[in-house]
Amino acid sequence: MAQKPVQPEQIIHFLVFDLAGQPYGVNVAQVEGVVAGPGREGKWTYQGQEIILHSLPRLLELALPEEALNRVLLIRRDGELHGFLVPTPRDIVALAVEDIFPLPPLIRRVLGERTLLWGVGRMENGLLLLVDPEADEAALRK
Partner 1 sequence: MQIDHEDLAFGERIINYVRWPILVILLLFNNIGPTQQSSDLTLPINIALLVALLMTGYIQYRLHRGRSFGPAITLALAVLQDGLITVGVALTGFYHSHFFIFYYPSLLGFSLAFPLRLGLGYATVVGAAYFALSWFLTPALGDPAIAFKVLIERWLVLYLTVAIGGVLMQHERDRRRRATADAARNAAEKDALYRDLHHRLEGWQQVAHEIEKTTEKLRKLTTGLSALTAEMGSDCATISATAEEIVNRTAHNIEQLTTIGRMSQEVVAAARRLTQAADSTKESSHLARRAVQRATAAVQDLRRRSTAIGDLAAAVRRVADQTTLLAFNASIEAIQAGPEGGRFAVVADEVRQVADRSARLAREIDELSFELEQSTAQVLTALAEIADMVDETRRFTQVAGQASEEQKGSAEVMAHSVGELERGTQETAHRVRIVSETMDRQHAALQQVAVLSRELSAASDRLAELSGALAA
Sign of CA dihedral 75, 138, 50, 39: negative
The minimum distance between CB 104 and partner 1, in angstroms, equals 28
Footprint on this chain of partner 1 (rule: CB under 8 A) = 13, 15, 28-29, 31, 33-36, 71, 88-89, 92
The Cα-based distances of 79 to 1, 18, 53 in angstroms read: 20, 28, 16
The whole-angstrom separation of Cα 22 and Cα 16 is 10
CB 123 within 8 A of CB 49: no
Q: Which is nearer to partner 1, 31 or 60 (CB)?
A: 31
Q: Which is nearer to partner 1, 13 or 58 (CB)?
A: 13
The minimum distance between CB 45 and partner 1, in angstroms, equals 18
The minimum distance between CB 34 and partner 1, in angstroms, equals 5
